[in-house]
Copies of this chain bind each other. A is one copy, B any other.
Amino acid sequence: MVITLAGHESRPRAGRPKRADARRNYDQLIEQAKLAFAEFGVDASLDEIARRAGVASGTLYRHFPTRLDLIEAVLGEQIAELVDLGRGLLTADDAFDALFAWLRAAITHSLTYRGLAAAVMNSALNRENGLVSTWHAEMFEVGAALLTRARRSGVVVADADEADVLKMIGAIAWAAQDASDGPAQADRLLTLLMNGLRHGGVQR
């Protein structure tokens, strides 16, 4: 008798395929998704993306079973860079500034495409596919490490919770995403948050 864990063995989870035509389609889909995301946000029509890539809708679903899989593929490198940046900042002199800088970069990243913050938040809630995507997991890990270090250094209040702070980052990104001033507003809101975190009070 064979025991299978439901929902764990059936996912394609392919990555870039080997066959020539399939690989061409895969690349075209990512390329067109990138353009469509830039134009309409991450809620862009999947059908339209497939059409522009010169491919039927079923093909899109074959490669990217979920809209989130497509988003992840499009943002892959960018996320890797962000994680690297965070790891580097773990040895920076000022633990407060390091945390600040990384959160700032994370927010900037979230502003790449309209709706991205909401999509990420949604993926964090959706526990169905086992754990959260590795994507989100790595981001969380780095952010949590930076906050922990800042807390241990005594530059940040002791009871700041990782999940809360990172959730707040998502919230700020969401709030600023289609404001006319955009990044500037995100900066102001982040400053508000950091003042709340700073041990020893607001500095003016």
Contact = CB atoms under 8 A, between A and B. Distances in A.
Interface of A: 118, 121, 125, 157-161, 164-165, 167-168, 170-172, 174-175, 178-179, 185, 188-189, 191-202, 204
14 contacts: A158-B204, A159-B204, A160-B192, A161-B188, A164-B185, A167-B185, A171-B174, A174-B175, A193-B193, A196-B196, A198-B201, A200-B201, A200-B202, A202-B202
Contact of A171 (B165, B189, B196): B189
Nearest to A170: B175
A101 B160 CA distance: 21
Q: Chain A interface secondary structure, helix, strand, loop or mixed?
A: helix
A179 to B, nearest CB: 8
Given A199-B202, A201-B201, A167 B175 contact: yes
Contacts of A188: 161, 164
A191 to B, nearest CB: 8
Given A121-B175, A157-B202, A198-B202, A192 B193 contact: yes
Nearest to A118: B118
Given A191-B196, A195-B197, 13 more contacts: A125-B178, A164-B189, A165-B192, A167-B179, A167-B185, A168-B189, A171-B174, A174-B174, A174-B175, A196-B197, A198-B202, A200-B201, A201-B201
Contacts of A204: 157-159
